[in-house]
Structure 1
């Protein structure tokens, strides 16, 4: 019986402006393999892409960093948490790694981080894979709008945010909208909570939650960027997402009418339940998008 190739994955750190960025990177045999930059969401880290890397990493170069305040990335004392700073460090990471052209996978927090990169370096972006990564006001649920409206100093605001950082809150983000919870491995939210419980991590998440409203101020610019550059785009979306409902997926078609859209009966973390359906879509998209793009060099 033939067994599909499984990726070899390296686990490394890069120093970027005093931040020790952890990342995982598949090692395909082809040095000119298509490159997919994987930008994770809240409250997770690059480990959310482990299974996708195993499935696709033998044929494609998948690179997944942890942002400051997430996963195994280490930050110096006094680091200021904002979405601009997450983008700054991710930009420096891409430059240090020597990536000059890649398809970008944006999920949840990965959308505001990734679209900041795209604005700064449109020449980097060979295409987009958008998975429950929002850039439109209609893509915000009422609950998301209420959460984004929280401000420092408002009575109960920080307590509301911290309530989402508990084990029950983290698990709920995985389970909400999923018809069959048996398809979810407990590992995801358990590992997420381990990192959330590290010293200083909840404070980092509170700061980012209070800064999330800054992303909405960029929506018009990001939509303009999409219309101007029209990157090839694959959209995969869990329609049971309690934060970013289905209208946020369809809104991309207004600016990218040629985008490929696939909706799945699942929640926020669609890869957890629908990897067998989504991975082949990504592979086909990379094969179709990449051939005319210059190869990125690999940093060893």
Structure 2
């Protein structure tokens, strides 16, 4: 079993082609977080990474998943590592794709966004600019060697969901909460050192948010991890699926022979 934990500004649909490629041979499940994709959430829901992890933990328990690996991308890393700390016995392995867990993996752009706090002049408008179609498209195409290889349906579908009522407010709350992840980095790293889970790392080196040093930093805590770097951006699956899908399949085979 491989839960696929998506990132921002996306949802489960970002794994559509990976599921098409591997779904006939392995059990893959891609849930939407509250406030993303097709989800509906109560009006009084508090958007934080802790709450997202609570919901996904409940989701895995409803499905009876006692043992699984996790595919961690972007927001999927803070969600997945919270699950790992809560139930380390359930985690059989990690596939990490541009899912940061180290300070050295944060670009200056990422640090500037994380530093924005409620009430700071210009903070809200700066974050809201990230929720426009132009910004969403730039997240897909930025850092790629050939933007023409990135199909438009990914960013168009993301933008459709971002434009639904209440979604920008949800994302704003999560952006303000992102610093909680930095505070948790030492605990995640300690968990990696203690448990040394089988780990596959695939990373787009042109990611404007999470840089290549963040990929290499995993090796300091999990030296046996397998690392593959690609000349692309944040959404590496969009133009490097032919390379990443077989790596993921081989990892699953090695982890659960």
TM normalised by structure 2 equals: 0.99
Whichever structure has more strand as a proportion of its residues is 1
Equivalent residue of 2:38, what SS? Answer: coil
Tell me how far 1:77 sits from its aligned partner.
1.2
1:124 aligned onto 2:90: yes
Residue number in structure 2 paired with 1:46 = 12
Tell me how far 1:114 sits from its aligned partner.
0.2
* 2:248 maps to which of 266, 279, 282: 282
Using CA pairs under 8 Å that are at least 6 residues apart, name the structure with larger relative contact order, 1 or 2: 2
Residue number in structure 2 paired with 1:181 = 147
In 2, distance between residues paired with 1:63 and 1:51? Answer: 13
Tell me how far 1:53 sits from its aligned partner.
0.2
1:149 aligned onto 2:115: yes
Which consecutive residues of structure 2, in runs of 5 or more, have no partner in the other structure? none
In 2, distance between residues paired with 1:77 and 1:268? Answer: 31
In 1, distance between residues paired with 2:252 and 2:145? Answer: 29
Deviations 1:39-88 (A, max 9, x none): 00000000000000000000000000000010001101111100000000
Taking the TM superposition and a 5 Å limit, the aligned residue runs for 1:69-80 are 69-80=35-46
In 1, distance between residues paired with 2:89 and 2:39? Answer: 27
1:236 aligned onto 2:202: yes
Q: Which runs of 4+ in 1 moved over 2 A?
A: none
In 2, distance between residues paired with 1:269 and 1:167? Answer: 16
CA RMSD, Structure 1 to Structure 2 (Å): 0.4
Taking the TM superposition and a 5 Å limit, the aligned residue runs for 1:154-169 are 154-169=120-135
- Structure having the higher Rg: 1
Tell me how far 1:170 sits from its aligned partner.
0.4
Taking the TM superposition and a 5 Å limit, the aligned residue runs for 1:1-300 are 35-291=1-257
Tell me how far 1:203 sits from its aligned partner.
0.2
In 2, distance between residues paired with 1:266 and 1:282? Answer: 18
TM normalised by structure 1 equals: 0.85
In 1, distance between residues paired with 2:253 and 2:149? Answer: 29
In 1, distance between residues paired with 2:125 and 2:170? Answer: 14
Tell me how far 1:103 sits from its aligned partner.
1.0
Tell me how far 1:179 sits from its aligned partner.
1.2
The count of corresponding residues between Structure 1 and Structure 2 is 257
When structure 1 is superposed on structure 2, of 73-82 and 131-140 the one drifting more is 73-82
Tell me how far 1:182 sits from its aligned partner.
1.0
Equivalent residue of 2:120, what SS? Answer: coil
